[in-house]
Structure 1
Amino acid sequence: MSSPKCMEFEGEFKSLIKVWLKILATLCYCYFISSKLPKGIFRFLSLTPVFYLFTILPLQLSSVLQISITSFFITWLTNFKLLLFTIDLGPLSSSSSPKSSLPLFLTIACFPIRNPQKQTYPSMQNPSKLHLLLPIKTLLFGISLVALNDHKQKLHPKIVLGLYCTLIYLMLDVILGISNLLVNATLGIELEFPSNDPYFSTSLRDFWGRRWNLMVTYLLRHTVYNPVRSVLCGPVLGPWWASVVGLIASFLVSGLMHELLFYYVTRVSPTWEVTCFFLLHGVCVAVEFGVVKWLGDKWRLHWVVSLPITLAFVVVTASWLFFPPLLRSGADERSIKEFNSLIDCVVGKS
């Protein structure tokens, strides 16, 4: 007989299946109906119910892990891909996938991948690297989880926050890495790195622009940065200031999307700390950008100095503004308990 925890897990899994069936059915509508409409206002109007549905679907889930994955993949990434799709841009556009089949359309829409025909970031030149790193990162994720689960009360608070930073990075890379492997195995789409070794970042520009969560960077560049810059450049502002405003706008949107994702998990009204975290980093990146423009490359510190400073700034500001809303709501404790229950159910039935 199943334990109460396993029965609860099975109920949550059934809810997840129902939500994803709705997602797939809705994306079929996008493929068969919306894609046949001319790009622009008519296609956008046909997709407005989709944007709304994909925004409220995470509210039908209760598990932290299920909410996190669904809201990140669908409410954020898929909605932004569809937003580009309204003007026939991005990974779902006809120019990116001129002969896109329904399975390919659904895959690119649902998963954090892009059509490999047109890459703006380096694709995976050595796929075996992901096969090697993924088990290592999964193991490190498990070790960090066990350390928090068994020894959290004994650890210094700063070490605990450092472990949370590590867990966020590892969980994101493991989930996105598994997604890439599944898509590659089923459809043969070329693999892409979800991140590019962010622990080697030598500046905030390097961290946010070239190393951390490349799919989000790509979407924010095309849905926020480029439109804002093109509108403001020329008649309103010069190229440099238009770029700065576009940069700050991208970080603002990222902060607001994180506030929404945190609300799904915590069901607590936002405190706007997360938005402040991203705005702070946006301003700092803009300052870096200005310093480089003013002083040139000669001002750069040696990586031995700049790397620890960059990582320390990210960790300290995350501890100050990013993690507190999750910690106050107990979302961290819930997620650890859910992982433990999942492992117990899987081991108990094996």
Structure 2
Amino acid sequence: MYTVSFMYVWGLVMVSLCYTFYVGKLVGRGIMRQILIFPVLLIFLIVPLLVSSIHLICITSFFIAWLANFKIILFTLGRGPLYSLSLPVFLAVASLPIKIQLIPKPHESREGTLLNYAKKFATLVLIIKVIEYSSKLPDKAVFTLYLMIQNYFSLKVILSTVSVVVRATSNLKLEPQFDEPHLATSLQNFWGRRWNLMVTGILRPTVYEPTMELLSGLGRNRSRYLAVFITFAVSGLMHVLIFFYIGRLRPDWKVMWFFLINGFCTSVEIAIKKNVKGRFPTTISRVLTMGFVLVTSWWLFFPEFKRCNLPQRVFQEYVSIGAFAARVKNTITASLLSAYHTM
């Protein structure tokens, strides 16, 4: 069931992207290209509703409804990462968090080593083993366990696995998801350079830079503060949309308030750093930054996971995957034993 719906949805995505590619080839930049490609944007907003697996909903809504749609918007304007690409590369860059790397870097980070991938996989296996005892754990412990699973499976293991395949078959590279966010020394550093870099990379050309240009008459500093806040607001709206895909529930807008508060405080922080000399010691800055992010997260962001009943749904899906894997193992074992006895 999961496989059929996933293949159908991503087949529809590939067909839509092929259509987008050839429209871009045949129609120049302008209103006509935008009109012809607009239905694709609507399709990409609908496809996450056609997926039933919680993990596949998260992947499809993030990669397609958000990242791919924003890339296509840039493409209709003749800008962005999809411009002037061959069809295979166009499909890959549009549907996955990929950036083109034509010149290999002399040194790969530890994030890209096989040992690092092995550690992530081992951690995931350990967490899955603990799931069977989740009924005996306190609610907060179960919720924390869920967050660990989501981090390692959805954002680490899947992206790392795809990254290995992409590197082995092309000169493309998956964009890094994180850059040690726990070392952030300010909100600007945390959100702009360390946390969820794929989102930062797509919001900058689609929201931040156009807003800066639109508000340039207000002066560089004021336009920058407003552009930062508006960028956070757009990010908040997209997170609200993703949680709607996941839970199919009417938004309660706590997630939106989380991003508005962080956007406002980041803008204030930028203004203070612009006008006040001197800095806090690095250790204090890190503690204050992570403290603020964690407090606002537990207050406004994390409750949405509980409201969508995500921990139980994720655990049930892992149990189903484990049961399926056990049946496959038993079938293979039985077949091998039968073949051995008939020899």
Q: TM-score, structure 2 length as denominator? A: 0.88
Q: Distance in 2 between matches of 1:78 and 1:326?
A: 24
Q: Partner of 2:86 in structure 1?
A: 101
Alignment of 1:1-350 (within 5 A): 11-94=1-84, 100-117=85-102, 125-126=107-108, 129-131=111-113, 132-147=115-130, 150-151=133-134, 154-155=137-138, 157=140, 159-160=141-142, 162-170=144-152, 171-190=154-173, 192-234=175-217, 237-296=218-277, 298-299=278-279, 301-350=280-329
Task: Give the distance between the partners of 2:222 and 2:132, measured in 1 at CA.
Answer: 47
Instruction: Show the counterpart of 1:4.
Output: none
Deviation at 1:206, TM superposition (A): 1.1
State how far apart, in whole Å, the 1-side matches of 2:169 and 2:70 are.
Answer: 24
Which gives a bigger RCO, structure 1 or 2 (Cα 8 Å, sep 6+)?
Answer: 1
SS in 1 for 2:178: coil
Please state how far the C-alpha of 1:307 moved relative to its aligned partner.
1.8
- Match of 1:3? none
Contact in 1 for aligned 2:6/2:56 (Cα 8 Å):
yes
User: Following the alignment from structure 1 to structure 2, what is the Cα–Cα distance between the partners of residues 215 and 29?
Assistant: 25
For 1:316 and 1:153, the matched residues in 2 are separated by 27
Alpha-carbon contact 1:123-1:193 (below 8 Å) kept = no
Paired with 1:124 and 1:24, the residues of 2 have a C-alpha distance of 34
Q: After the TM superposition, which of the residue ranges 109-118 and 253-262 deviates more from structure 2?
A: 109-118
Displacement of 1:66 after TM fit?
0.9
Cα gap change, 1:312 to 1:78, in 2 (>3 Å) = same
Task: Give 3-state SS (helix, strand or coil) of 1:270's partner.
Answer: coil
3-state SS of 1:269 partner: coil
CA deviation profile, 1:263-288 (whole Å, cap 9, x unmatched): 11100010111111111111111121
Superposition deviation, residue 160 in structure 1: 5.0
CA pair 348-184 structure 1, distance change in 2 beyond 3 A: same
Q: Percent identity?
A: 37
Query: Alignment RMSD, CA only?
Result: 2.2
Contact 1:127/1:191 (8 A) holds in 2: no
Call closer, same or farther: CA 1:277–1:336 in 2, change over 3 Å: same
Aligned-pair distance for 1:165? 4.6
SS of the residue 2:123 aligns to:
helix
SS of equivalent residue, structure 1 residue 92: coil
2:142–2:311 CA contact under 8 A, matched in 1: no
In the alignment, which residue of structure 2 is the partner of 1:7?
none
Rg larger in 1 or in 2?
Answer: 2
Q: 2:99, 2:173 within 8 Å by CA — same for their partners in 1? A: no
Look up the match of 2:333: none
Size of the aligned set, in residue pairs, is 327
Cα displacement (A) at 1:317 = 1.4
| One-letter identity of the residue aligned with 1:219 | I
Query: 1:28: Cα distance to partner?
Result: 0.7
SS state at 1:75 partner: helix
Cα distance in 2 for partners of 1:142, 1:199 equals: 24
Cα 1:39–1:251 shift into 2, 3 Å: same
Give distance in 2, aligned partners of 1:307 and 1:255.
Answer: 24
TM-score (ref. length: structure 1): 0.86
Contact 2:48–2:57 (Cα < 8 Å) also in 1: yes
Q: Contact 2:97–2:175 (CA<8 Å) still a contact in 1? A: no
Residue ranges of structure 2 left out of the alignment (5+ in a row): 330-343
Given that residues 24 and 33 in structure 2 are in contact (C-alpha distance below 8 angstroms), is that contact kept between their aligned partners in structure 1?
yes
Secondary structure of residue in 2 paired with 1:90: coil
> How far off is 1:174 after superposition?
2.7
Q: Which position in structure 2 is the counterpart of 1:5?
A: none
Aligned AA for 2:94?
A: A
Gaps of 5+ in 1: 1-10, 95-99
Structure 1 residues 282 and 147: CA distance shift in structure 2, 3 A: farther
Runs of 4+ in 1 over 6 A off after TM superposition: none
Partners of 1:330 and 1:280 in 2: CA distance: 25
Shift of 1:192: 3.8
Q: Tell me which amino acid in the other structure corresponds to 2:59.
A: I
Residue 61 of structure 1: how far off its partner (Å): 1.3
